[in-house]
Structure 1
Amino acid sequence: MKKNQFLSLIFIVLILSGCTAKTRYSFDDETFHFDISTEPPSLDWNTISDTTSSNIVDNIMDGLTAYNFTKSEVGITPALAESWTISPDGKVYTFKIRKGVKWTDGAELKAKHFADGWKRLVDPKTASPYATYLSFVKNGREISAGKKPVDSMGVEAIDDYTFRVTLENVTPYFLFATTHGATYPIRLDVVEKFGDKWTDAKNIVTLGPFKLKEWNHDKNIILERNDTYWGEKPKIKTMVAQMVLETSTALSLFESGQLDHIQTIPNFELERVKKDPKLLQSLKTGPNFSNVYFGFNTRKPPFNDPNVRKAFASSIDRVSVLKAIRRDFTPLLSWIPTGMLGYNSNIGLKFNPSNAKEYLRAAGYIEKNGKWISKESGKEFPKIRLAITPNESAKILVENLQTQWRNNIGIEPELYFEEWKVYLRTLELDPPEIFYMGWVADYPDPDTFMQIFRSYSSDNRTGWKSAEYDRLVTEAGTTLDNGKRVSLYNSAQRLLAEEANPFIPLYTSTQNYLMKPFVKGFIVNPMRQWRYSGIYLERGSYKD
């Protein structure tokens, strides 16, 4: 035990030395140290699709609106738009942009910067994973598909301080959608001047509560207070975002006082945290609109056959999965998460190994000498790959699934690991037969979950397409009647999770993270938005 602790201490010192190779930052009431786990793939808010990148972007930028987490339900509050009006038919929103808001280079925010950002997002030339996010805007979907010109999009800068948006249909969640980073304004002059380097610390221009000071790749990101910020200025001056890949190492750094906050607790450590009086003071919990799933590449054999997909889905015991990762999350058979309109625990394929084998037989396979053989070709069931990122939680999870599939249907996928940035690129270009992924709500509405499996969604890595599913989800997302919406979402979820099964939903998570007791002012929120502009530190009030 002492030897392991000594080695861990050496490792922590090495980690810190590497993370602070360029600059050292003190531990005072103006400096906040936290972990973001890995290198952000990008800080270009028109092209990011991951939570690590959003973690940084949400602290250096603002949108038209912002979340209000002070009430029991998530609300909306004005941000860069000081007000807005809605047309009688509910399809035209006119936003009044705040005057006097400055970018970090001193230029004033204009309505044009929103129009530029939204058009750049849907432009096929940008190749954004979020290109279809604005499909509810007039012509947005057709533009992202290359069927209409970018300038036909239903956005317009009427004047310097008036931004108008025309929607295809009534969209009940539209204002919530304008909180998302994909809708932030952008400076095309900066993008065009610096090209791919525009997000470098020396080039990037932002307008949020913090600004990017340093980006020490694979080590840390340094943010400093934006003293020209239009809103309430942050109380802290500097944020040091460390990139610590292993959650166990991050926890050690937290316990040794080198981190003030970690967003993930290692699977096997949560029980210890709950029993440790000191750590328990730092434990924060709360609801989380976030699901974990495994997707199938339905373009590749054997998962181009829905019966094979059903076989794999039916041979998973989610209770066993949650025991393996030591979490009290909610098992999920359908797709809309717990606590959200449309959640239905009665939809989806339940754990039934006997049914799983029947699905394999229906797909044309027979059992012979402990192996599945194609009746048509006489060949063995093909080898399949299961791709994941190299983090501890994912590894424990997939090893459990690998064992379950081997024991329940006699098939064992081959595991392979890819670094986060490479992994996202692989999913974009050529997804493996099975892949691990999670989805955190972009806005507090079931559409944010259901839309990712639309035929035209840039987030749909499964390759599965269904005109009927598209119709159901579109209709549900364009009506104000919640009862009708639930009925439509039920039908869509049955198609998704009982008939076609392009994925295996596993669970809806809850939040468990650590934040030192001297960190004040942060609000736990179901959107898992890590925005730190409202926090303040009282290190002197806390004795370790």
Structure 2
Amino acid sequence: MKKLKKFTKVLVLFLIVFSIVGCTMFNNNLEQNITVAFEAGVHTLDPAILQRMNEQYIACNLWEGLVRKNLNGLIEPSMAKSWDVSEDGLTYIFHLRKNIHWSDGQAVTAGQFEYAWKRALNPEAKSDVVFMMYFLKNGEAYNKGKARAEDVGVKALDNNTLEVRLEKPAPFFLEILNYHTYYPVRQDIVEKDSDSWYLKEKTLVTNGPFCVQSLDYNKNIMLVKNKYYWDEKNVKLASISFKIERQPDSIWKQYLEGSVEYGDTFPNDMDKQKEVESNKNNVIVQNALATTYICFNSRRAPLNNINVRKAFEMVLDKEKIVQARKRSENVASGFIPPGMPDVKPGTDFREIGGKYMNEKFNKDNVKIAKELLEQAGYSDPKKFPTVVILATDPWKQTVNIIASQLKETLGINVDVRTHASEIFYQQYSEGDFDIVFSNWVADFVDPINFMGFIAGDKNLKGIFTEKFYTLVDKANSMADNEQRISTLHEAENDLLNSYTLIPLFYLKDMYYTKPYIRNYLRTPTSELYFRNAYIEKHTN
């Protein structure tokens, strides 16, 4: 084996100091129970396949991987107490703690990590987020049926030692390890009931700060403190009730009434910016590494014609769309948002990549757009087929603006279909749309996360050009970072010049929480951690 560099435990010392400071206002006499509410949309809590934001919010409080994030959002040791890295950056040796247990008291072992990772990569798992594991040696090859499970670069050397080999050096690999597909699962539980183990309280055994007490994906998921968690002494909350609402507008009302302490869904008719400025109800706005966009279904007419797609993009007034949201968000000039690093330290992928499409609406574009429709064979808007836009309910106002702009400028009739998350994802998976409205929030700080997600979404398979898919695959296999980033720029250029994906604006994270909830962590990648949270003394 190549020479390994030893990582010290400075971060652990930092955690101890920080915890002492953070606990000074903690009051043991207060009931430490909080209620978090969000729109219905929890389909699975299986770490190998979950992908919705609400699922991730719950999962990152139930599980922990080899590493975790501290209150500053920085990676620190978790299930692994330390690790060694080879000089070429291709081999990691993780040394697990001796006192780590599952919520049923059984020991967490290195073999359970090996099993979980290979299970997620198994082609039969059909995970939409499996691209996050292509960093492992032969991970992609195994997932695509070109290698065996035993060829994948993860191996338990003993119960407390895990060897990980990478396909190529990845400086951000520790950040990747915090992603949910890298959580361990129990082979003995999963293989006894592979289709529904994650649907039952008794078999949803986890290793994080909280565990499941009651489980109803349609109403409420109750988590309680995990008494077997290795860092249990620093977990202050006794319980978290994740309340699932089918009427998302009611969440804000419940928050004002005091029955909900945390939420991120707002009534459609609310002036959110005014609410923030009033500083009355602790509504918080922060930048997110996230892009909101629409995708055109180029697999069917009329949007299989690039001139139609170009025409639609040219008449969108993105500034009006942003202004209507009242969140001080910025019109998107590319798919990759600002904040993603380029090759040289301190440089930004978005700045280097430049601007695409139209940031500002120009009335002259309407004439050009109509000419493009004529070239596509649609000189009479009355003969243009009705276009179906698919979105989730919270985006109803925004997609209605898009529909009205297409109608007012080009005379296009639009059928806006907004649904609760379950119905939306069903229609999305069936390809039952002409335009889909969506957004992507980064899982880690690298542009491959955006490109890999879009290229790997099986619901969008075939919508983009073959060149785009080839470039993303090529970038994924490159060891040279300069070449890799250059290839990702080329991929974004191809994606946006095909007019199959139109970036609209860069999302800002907006949520509300009672000011007496302390030491929670919501990251720019929209992770939500309550591991260190507590309720401080307050008056209602």
Q: Is the TM-score greater than 0.5?
A: yes
Residues 477, 521 of structure 1: alpha-carbon distance in 2 compared, 3 angstrom cutoff: farther
Instruction: Measure the CA separation in 1 of the matches of 2:479 and 2:457.
Output: 20
Contact map agreement 1:452 1:458 (CA 8 A) in 2:
no
C-alpha distance in 2, partners of 1:462/1:516? 45
Q: Which residue of 2 aligns with 1:235?
A: 236
Residues of 1 paired with 2:368 and 2:492: CA distance?
20
CA distance in 2, matches of 1:402, 1:468: 28
Q: Tell me what 1:167 maps to.
A: 166
Contact 1:315/1:356, CA 8 A, preserved across alignment: yes
What displacement does 1:230 show?
Answer: 0.7
C-alpha distance in structure 2 between counterparts of 1:221 and 1:468, whole Å: 40
Counting only pairs closer than 5 Å after superposition, residues 221-370 of structure 1 correspond to structure 2 as 221-232=221-232, 233-267=234-268, 268-279=270-281, 282-341=282-341, 342-344=349-351, 346-350=354-358, 351=361, 352-362=365-375, 364-368=376-380, 370=381
> Aligned-pair distance for 1:459?
7.0
Deviation at 1:170, TM superposition (A): 2.0
Name the amino acid aligned to 1:262. Answer: G
> Gapped runs of 5+ residues in structure 1?
1-26, 372-379
In 2 relative to 1, CA 308–152 (structure 1 residues): closer, same or farther, beyond 3 Å?
A: farther
Kept after mapping to 2: 8 A contact 1:286/1:525: no
Q: 1:327 to 1:358 in 2, by over 3 A?
A: farther
1:138 shift after superposition: 2.1
Q: Which runs of 5+ in 2 are unaligned?
A: 1-28, 342-348
Give the match for residue 64 of structure 1. 66
What's the counterpart of residue 522 of structure 1? Answer: 520
Check whether the contact 1:63–1:184 (CA below 8 A) recurs between aligned residues: yes
Report the equivalent of 1:151.
150
* Structure 2 CA distance for aligned equivalents of residues 212 and 358 of structure 1: 59
Q: Secondary structure at the match of 1:299?
A: coil
CA distance 1:304–1:171, shift in 2 (3 Å): farther
Alignment of 1:139-218 (within 5 A): 139-199=138-198, 200-218=200-218
Instruction: Kindly indicate whether the alpha-carbon contact (under 8 Å) linking 1:388 and 1:417 is maintained by their aligned counterparts in 2.
Output: yes
Corresponding residue for residue 10 of structure 2:
none
Deviation at 1:473, TM superposition (A): 6.9
| Distance change in 2, residues 1:425/1:155 (3 Å) | farther
Report the equivalent of 2:408: 407
Is the aligned partner of 1:444 residue 2:435?
no
For the Cα contact (< 8 Å) 2:340–2:446, is it kept in 1? Answer: yes
Is the 1:431–1:461 contact (alpha carbons within 8 Å) kept by the matching residues of 2? no
Q: 1:158 to 1:348 in 2, by over 3 A?
A: same
1:277 to partner: Cα distance: 4.7
Change (3 A) 1:179 1:32: same
CA contact (8 A) 1:347 1:493 kept: no
How far does residue 47 in structure 1 lie from its aligned partner after superposition? 1.2
Shift of residue 335 of structure 1? 0.8
Match of 2:392 in 1: 389
Aligned to 1:110: 109
Give the residue type in structure 1 aligned to 2:369: A
8 Å contact from structure 1 (residues 452, 459) kept in 2: no
Report SS of the residue matched to 1:195: coil
1:528 to 1:355, Cα distance in 2 relative to 1, 3 A: same
**DSSP 3-state at the match of 1:121:** helix
Alignment-mate amino acid for residue 388 of structure 1: A
Q: Identify the residue that residue 123 of structure 1 maps to in structure 2.
A: 122
Taking a change above 3 Å as real, the CA distance of residues 206 and 526 of structure 1, as seen in their structure-2 partners, is same
CA deviation string 1:312-362 (max 9, x = no partner): 222211111112222211111311112222124842211433343343344
Q: Which residue of 1 aligns with 2:20?
A: none
Name which of 26, 29, 32 aligns with 1:30.
32
- Which residue number corresponds to residue 418 of structure 1? 419
CA drift of 1:269 comes to 3.6
CA shift, 1:214, in A, is 0.7
Determine the structure 2 residue equivalent to 1:510.
508
Distance 1:118 1:277, change over 3 A: closer
* Identical-pair percentage: 27
What CA deviation, in whole Å up to 9, does each residue of 1:90-128 have, x standing for no partner?
222222222221011221111111111111111121122
Q: Give the distance between the partners of 1:206 and 1:460, measured in 2 at CA.
A: 32
Q: Which residue of 2 aligns with 1:77?
A: 76
Kindly provide the amino acid, as one letter, of the partner of residue 224 in structure 1.
V
Contact 1:121–1:130 (8 Å) recurs in 2: no
- Contact kept, 8 Å, 1:452 with 1:460, in 2: the verdict is no
Alpha-carbon displacement from aligned partner over 1:243-302 (angstroms, at most 9, x marks no partner): 1244431111111111111123335242442354531xx222222112211122222222
- Compared with structure 1, are the counterparts of its residues 183 and 354 closer, same or farther at alpha carbon in structure 2 (3 Å cutoff)? farther
- Partner Cα distance (1:447, 1:185) in 2: 24
Hey, what's the Cα distance between the residues in 1 that align with 2:169 and 2:427? Answer: 36
The one-letter code sitting in structure 1 at the alignment partner of 2:53 is T
Cα separation, 1, equivalents of 2:209 and 2:104: 14
Residue of 42, 53, 56 corresponding to 1:54 = 56
How many residues align? The count is 496
Taking only aligned residues, the RMSD between alpha carbons, in angstroms, comes to: 2.4
- The structure-2 alpha-carbon separation of the partners of 1:117 and 1:526, relative to structure 1 and needing over 3 Å to count, comes to same
**Partner SS for 2:204:** coil
**1:493 and 1:111 mapped to 2: Cα distance?**
38
Are 1:40 and 2:42 an aligned pair? yes
Question: How does 1:531-542 map onto structure 2 within 5 Å?
Answer: 531-538=529-536, 540-541=537-538
| Whole-Å separation in 2 of the counterparts to 1:85 and 1:305 | 53
Cα drift, residue 487 of structure 1: 4.3
